[in-house]
Structure 1
Amino acid sequence: MRERQVAFTARVEQSRVRRTGAVLRRGTPSSCHELAARPNRRVALFKSFVSASALSALTIATPALADPLTSEDLFRIKSVGSVAVSPDGSRVAYQVGGRPNIIEGEENGGYESQLMIGTGPNQAASYLPEGMSVSDIKFSPDGRWVSFLHKGEDDEERSVYAVPVYGGSYRKVAQSPDAGVIAHAWSPDGQTIYMLAGAAGDDARDKEKKKGFDAIVYEEEAQLRRMFRSRLGDLDNDVDATAIAIPGYVTEFSVSPDGSYAVVGSQPTPQIDDTYTSKRFHIVDLASADVRAVVETPGKVGDAEISPDGRTMSLIAGVDMNDPAATTLHLVDTATGEFRALNAGAAEAATDAEWLDDGKLAAIIHVGAQSLLRVYNADGSVDHQHDPGALILRSIEADGGTVTVTADAPSHPAELFRVTPDGFTRWTDSNPWLANIDLGKQETIKYTARDGQVIEGILVHPVGGIPEGGAPLILDVHGGPEAHDSNGWTTNYGGPGHIAAGKGYAVFQPNYRGSTAYGTAFSKQHQNDYAGKEFNDLVDAKRALVEMGVADPDRVGVTGGSYGGYATAWSSTALSEEFAAGVMFVGISNQISKFGTTDIPYEMYNVHSRKWPWEDWQAMLDASPITHVGKAETPILIMHGEEDTRVSPSQSYELYRSIKVRKPETPVRLVLYPGEGHGNSKAAARYDYNLRMLRWFDTYLKTGDRKAPLPDPRPELKLQDSE
C-alpha cells in the first residue's frame, strides 16, 4: 500500500464541563437587564467575542473517571430543542427533551419535551405540569405570554395554548375548526394568532371506512393543509377561526414584522419528492391572500427568515436542481422575489440564520467537521465571524439584544448558550450525570484517498486508549449522502459513538464524497458514480487508520442507515474482503427496484444517479449489493422499519434472501420494526436496535470470527419494571 498522508486536526480538549443541576427559580440577573436596556449593542457583542478561549473558561480539571456510557444511558440523555427569545431579551424559553426512560419503567413512546424559561446560567423554571409535552414555542409580542402547541385532555387535536410569564396557569388561546394545529405565529399587535392546520375531515369517508371501505388510491388522495387566523377571545365567544387561502401544500410560514404579509413555504403535493424538487417560498398578502411574489430558487430550500424592516428575506437554498442540499445563503427582495447568493461555491454549509435588530444577519456556518458564527452586513458583505472552539453550533435565535445558540460538543449533547462579550456563556446543563462518565478521546482527522482527494472524519478512541496492534474499528457511515458529521456529540441509538468506545471499539465517522459542509463541488463528486469513489473512501479510511495504528486490519466493521445502509450492504458484499462485520439499517440493496419502490425517484435522479435505470440497466445492477452476494463473507445484521416509504423494506428482504440462498454459510439476520418508518421513533425500538447492533459487533467484529454462531434472537433487556 502506498504511503498515505494522515493529518490530525482540531484536537479536542478533554476536560469536561462540570455543572450542578439547573436552579429552578425565577429572576433576571443584572447582566440580562443591562443587555435588555441596550438592544442595539447586539452586533457590538459579536465583535467582542473571545473565540475559542471563551470555551476553555467553561472547563475545569476533573479526576479520573471510571464508568463508560451504556445503551441504557441513552434514555437518560436530554438535550435542548427549540428556543424562543423574549422581545426585551430578558428571558429565553426553550424545550428540554428526549425519549421516555423505559429502562426505569416509563411508558414507551416518542420524543417528549418540557418547557423551560431561563433568565441566566443555570437559572430556569418549568412553567407547566410535569409530563406536559409541548412544541412550537413562541413569545407574544409584548413578552407577557409564551405560547405553544399541545393536545389537552379535552382536545381531539393539537391546539394553541399560552402560559403567562409572570404567574398564572396556562390556557387554550386558539384552535382550528376541525384539525390539529401544525404551527402558529402571533400578529405584531398581539391580538391575532395565525395557524397552519391539517386537512379538513371527511365525514362521508369516515363512515365508509367504518363499513370496511378503506382502500387507498396511491398518490391521488392528497390532503392539503390550511391556514387560519383567530382573534384572541374568539374561543370565549365560540367564534371559529377564519380561513386564509394559500397556494398548494403548505409546509411552513412566518409573518412579516408589520403584519402585512406572510412568507409561505409551499409545494404542489404532500409528496416528499415535491419537498426536494418543487418546494418554493411565496410572499402572500395577508389581507387579500394574493401572492405578491414567488421566490423561484432552482433547487432545494431550507431556513427562511424575514428582516426587521420586512424588505429582505434570508433563505438557505441549493444553487441548482442538482445541488444535493440547501447549504448556500441567499438574500431575497420580498417585493419582487429576486434573490442572490452570498457564499455560493465556498467549501462550507450555511445551516441556520437570524436577523439582528440593526439589520445585520447572523448565520451558522459549518466548515467541514467544525462550525463558526458569521455576521453579514445588510448589503451581503461579511462584517465579521468567530470560531466557537469545540462547540458545534446548531441553531440561533435572537431578540431584544440577546443572542442565543444551541450547541453540542464531544462531551455533551445540545445545550443552550448565550452570546456575550466574553464569548459563549453556557446556560443549561441537561445531563449533569455525564460528568461521571468516562468518554473516549474524540478528534477530527484527515486522510488522503487513493486519487488524492483529502477526506475528513471524526474519530472516537476506545476508552482507556488504543491497544497495541490496533482496536476493533467501526466505520459509522452517515446517510444522504448529502449530510455530514460534525465533531460534536456523536452518540445515538444508531450511532455507536461513546457507547462502543466504552466497550473497547474505535469509531470513525467519514465525511466521504457526497457529504455537505465541504462545498457543492465536493457534494456532487459522488453523482453518476454509485458505489464508486464514495465507497472507495471507506476502504481508504480503513487503510489510513490501520497505518496510523488505530485499527486492527482484521477487525474493521461498517454500520449506517439509509445511504449509510447502502454503504454497509456494499461493504459486506462487493468489499467483503475488507470488512469483518456489518450492521445495515433501512439500506439499499437493489438500485433498480429502489427506483420503483421509493417516494423520492426524482430526488434520486437529480442528485444521485443523474440517469434513469432504463437508460443503463446494467450499470444500475452492477451498483447493487445483490449483484455481489457471491463475494459476501461478512456477517451482516439487517434491520428495517416495516412502514418505511423512503427505502422499502423489500430492499432488506432482497439482500437477506439473496445471502440466505446463495451464501448460506454467511451469518445473516433480518429484524423488522412494526410501526416504524425510515428510522426508529419509539424508545423501545431504539433500545432494541442499539442492543442488537452492539451485540452483533461483539460477536463478529471484536472476536474477528466471521463464522461464529448467530447470537440469541432476543436482546438482553435491562428493564427495571419489565413485564
Structure 2
Amino acid sequence: MAASTRSLTVDISWTCRSPALSPDKKAVAFVSDRDGSPRVWVQPLTRQGARRARVVDTGPEPVGDVLWSPDGEWLAVTVSPGGGEHTQVWALRPDGTDRRLLAGPTETPARGSAVFVRWTGQGSTLLVAELSASGATEAVLIDACLGHRDTIAAGPLMWPSAVSRDHSRALLRHGPRGMREMSVADLPFGEERPLLPPTTDLGSLSPDGEVAYIRSNAGRDRSALIAMPVGGAPQVVAERPDAELDRFSVSMDGTVALLVWNVAGRCELEVADLIEGGTRPLPPPPVDVISSARLSLDGALAVLAGESPDTPSHVLLCELATGEYYRVAGDDPLPHQIHAELVRFPARDGLELTGWLYRAGPGAGPCAIYLHGGPESQERPTFNPLFQRLLAAGVSVLAPNVRGSSGFGRAFQDADNHALRFHAIDDVADCVGYVVGAGVADPARVACMGRSYGGYLTLAALVTYPELFRAGVDVCGMADFATFYARTEPWIAAAAVSEYGDPVADHELLWALSPLHSFDRLTAPLLVVHGAQDTNVPVYEAEQVVAAATARGVPCRYLLFDDEGHETLRKANKITFMEAVADWFERWME
C-alpha cells in the first residue's frame, strides 16, 4: 500500500441535509452533524448575508428530517431513539420551545415507528405514517397545536403520499417493492380508486385534490412525472429518454413543480408549469447530486441539499426565475479534488454495467469493490469520507451499479429479481475483471465490501468467487434469507418478497442464494460491522457470519456499535468504522 494507514488521520466534514425554508423565506432549517450527531439547525437569511446558524434543542436523539409548517409556527422533526429504526415524530417551536411527541413508540424495547410525510396546509395539521409492530400502516392527521388525531386510512404495505388542503381526499401508495401503485380516497369514508398501475411511488396532490402528480414508470422503462386527474386520463408532464425522474416538489399553491433528473448519476433540474403546461431547464447546479429539493410556498424559490465527491452535503437556494444558486449553509469543499470517473463495461452476458472509479494513483495496486445497498439504489458521485480514507491509504475504489440498481430504467432494476440474483453475483466478479483489465487493480490485492444489500452481495461474491478476493468487509448485510425474513420488521419482510422471493414458496431458491450455507468456500479475511439497534437487518445476521467464519478458521473481526441502527449516524462511530476498514485492508492487502 502507498502509505501506512496508521500515519494518516481522518477529519470528516460536517454535512447539511433535508433543508426546509420558513414560509417567509427568512430562514432555513436543516439537519446537520456539525457537532457530532445529527441535530436541527436554523440558518437566518438576510439581505446583508447569512448570519450564524443556531442549533435547535430537539433532545438527545439523532434527527433524520425536519420540515417547517406553512404558518411558520412549528417544526416537524423525525428522531431515532437510541440511533435505531423505530422513529418518532415530534413538533416544536422554531426556537426550540414547546417540544411535544406527536407519534411513535414510547416503550422499551420500541415497537412500531412513525414518520412525518408533510404539512397539509390547513392550520398546524401534519400528515404522519404510523407503522405498527405487525407491519400495518395508519395514515394519521395530527394537529401539532391541539394534539387532535384523525386516522384517515390503514392497511398493510400502505403509505400516505399526500392529502388535499381541505382534507377531503388522500393519495395513498400500496404494494411491495417494485410493484407499488397509487390510489385516491375520498375522506372520511369514501372507497379508494386506483390511479396508476405499478410501479409508482412518489406522489403529490393539487390543493383542491383534483389532480395527482405521480412519479411513475407505468407503460415506460424510465420514471416520468404524470398528472392524473381524478376520474380522468393520465397526462405526461415531463419525461426524458436519457434520464429518470429522481424526485420532484410541487409548490403548495399547485402552480409549479421542480423536477430533479438523474442523468447517469448526476443531476439536472427543470421547472414545470402545472397551469399552462411545459417545462424549462435550469442552469446546471454547482454540485453533482441533489439529495433533497423543496419549494417555497409561492414556488419562487427552491431549497436544495447538494454534494459532490469533494464537496460535503450543503444547503443551496435557487431562484427559479433566474436560475441563480446561492450557498447558504455547509462545510467548505475539500482543499484537494476527488475525481470520480464514470466507467462502463460489459457483464459476461453482454449487459452494460457502470460504476464510479476512484483511482489512488497510476498503475495497478490494491483496489476495493464497494457495493451499495438497496438493491434498488444507485451509486452516485457523492461525498464519501470512506472512499477518501481509502484513497489516502493508496487503495483505489470501484463503486459499481450492478443489475438491480435504480437510475437505469425498470428493466435493469428488475434484472436481479428472484433467481436472476445469481447474475448480480456474477456482476461483482465482472467488476473485478474490469479493474484488473484496466490496470487499476493488482489481481492479488482486490477486496470486496458493501453495506445492507451490498453486505449481502459481498458475502455472496466472497463464497462464489473466493479466488478473486484478498479481503472482505460486510456492513449490516444479510447472510441467510430464512433468518432475515424471520427476524426483520414485518413490513420489510412483506415488502421484500417481490424482490428476493417468498420465504415458503421459494425456500430452496433462497437457501441457494444465502451465502451462509456456502461458508466452507470462504477464504478472505472478513471484517463484520453492524449496529446493535438495527431492526431492518437484525444483528443476528452478523453474529451468524462471525460464528461461521471463526469456526472455519477464517480471520474475522467483529465491530459492533451499541448506539447505531441500520445507518451509522454519529461522527465518532463513522471515524472508528473508517479506521477499522483502512486497518483491515492494510493488514491483508500489503
| CA spacing shift, 1:295–1:128, aligned 2, 3 Å | farther
Structure 2 counterpart of 1:444:
342
- Cα contact 1:92–1:117 (8 A) shared by 2: yes
Equivalent position amino acid for 1:677 in 2: G
Equivalent position amino acid for 1:587 in 2: G
Instruction: Work out the CA distance in 1 between the residues paired with 2:135 and 2:344.
Output: 49
- Cα contact 2:342–2:357 (8 A) shared by 1: yes
Residue deviations 1:413-452, cap 9 Å, x none? 22222334664423235113x444x343222221222222
SS in 2 for 1:532: helix
Shift of 1:689: 2.5
Higher strand share: 2
Shift of 1:456: 1.2
Structure 1 counterpart of 2:496:
604
Residue deviations 1:281-300, cap 9 Å, x none? 54454xxx344754454446
1:304 to 203, 213, 217: 203
Shift of 1:245: 3.8
SS in 1 for 2:383: coil
Structure 2 counterpart of 1:106:
none
Percent same amino acid among aligned pairs? 17
Structure 2 counterpart of 1:236:
none
Equivalent position amino acid for 1:73 in 2: D
SS in 1 for 2:549: helix
Equivalent position amino acid for 1:605 in 2: V
Structure 1 counterpart of 2:268:
372
Instruction: Work out the CA distance in 2 between the residues paired with 1:188 and 1:452.
Output: 50
- Cα contact 1:531–1:570 (8 A) shared by 2: no
Structure 2 counterpart of 1:534:
424
- Cα contact 2:532–2:562 (8 A) shared by 1: yes
Equivalent position amino acid for 1:669 in 2: R
TM-score, with structure 1 as normaliser: 0.67
SS in 1 for 2:496: helix
Structure 2 counterpart of 1:83:
20
If you compute each CA radius of gyration, which structure gives the higher value, 1 or 2? 1
Instruction: Work out the CA distance in 2 between the residues paired with 1:177 and 1:390.
Output: 35
Instruction: Work out the CA distance in 1 between the residues paired with 2:14 and 2:137.
Output: 36
SS in 1 for 2:152: coil
**2:233 matches 1:353:** no
Structure 2 counterpart of 1:137:
67
- Cα contact 2:29–2:66 (8 A) shared by 1: no
- Cα contact 2:264–2:407 (8 A) shared by 1: yes
Instruction: Work out the CA distance in 2 between the residues paired with 1:69 and 1:195.
Output: 50
SS in 2 for 1:690: helix
Residue deviations 1:332-363, cap 9 Å, x none? 32x44875666789564322212356834331
1:459 to 357, 371, 374: 357
Note the 1:39-188 alignment, pairs <5 A.
Answer: 72-74=10-12, 76-84=13-21, 86=23, 90-98=25-33, 100-101=35-36, 110-119=37-46, 123-126=50-53, 136-141=66-71, 145=72, 147-149=74-76, 160-163=91-94, 172=98, 183=116
Note the 1:387-398 alignment, pairs <5 A.
Answer: 387-388=284-285, 390-398=287-295
SS in 2 for 1:247: strand
Shift of 1:696: 1.0
Note the 1:372-521 alignment, pairs <5 A.
Answer: 372-378=268-274, 383-386=279-282, 387-388=284-285, 390-399=287-296, 400=298, 401-420=300-319, 423-432=323-332, 434-436=333-335, 438-462=336-360, 465-466=361-362, 468=363, 470-491=364-385, 496-521=386-411
Instruction: Work out the CA distance in 1 between the residues paired with 2:421 and 2:452.
Output: 14
SS in 2 for 1:362: strand
- Cα contact 2:393–2:582 (8 A) shared by 1: no
Equivalent position amino acid for 2:325 in 1: T
Structure 2 counterpart of 1:686:
574
Instruction: Work out the CA distance in 1 between the residues paired with 2:438 and 2:213.
Output: 44
Shift of 1:581: 0.7
| CA spacing shift, 1:93–1:310, aligned 2, 3 Å | farther
Instruction: Work out the CA distance in 2 between the residues paired with 1:502 and 1:284.
Output: 57
Structure 1 counterpart of 2:214:
315
Note the 1:239-254 alignment, pairs <5 A.
Answer: 240-248=146-154, 252=160, 254=162
Equivalent position amino acid for 1:398 in 2: L
Unmatched tracts of structure 1, length 5 or more: 1-66, 102-109, 164-168, 201-217, 233-239, 268-272, 704-723
Unmatched tracts of structure 2, length 5 or more: 80-87, 107-113
How big is the alpha-carbon RMSD for the aligned residues of Structure 1 and Structure 2?
4.1
Instruction: Work out the CA distance in 1 between the residues paired with 2:475 and 2:35.
Output: 23
Which one has more relative contact order, counting CA pairs under 8 Å at least 6 apart?
1
Instruction: Work out the CA distance in 2 between the residues paired with 1:130 and 1:170.
Output: 5
- Cα contact 1:266–1:279 (8 A) shared by 2: yes
Equivalent position amino acid for 2:562 in 1: P
| CA spacing shift, 1:422–1:177, aligned 2, 3 Å | closer
Shift of 1:72: 4.1
Range that drifts further, 470-479 or 346-355: 346-355
Instruction: Work out the CA distance in 2 between the residues paired with 1:151 and 1:524.
Output: 31
Structure 2 counterpart of 1:575:
465
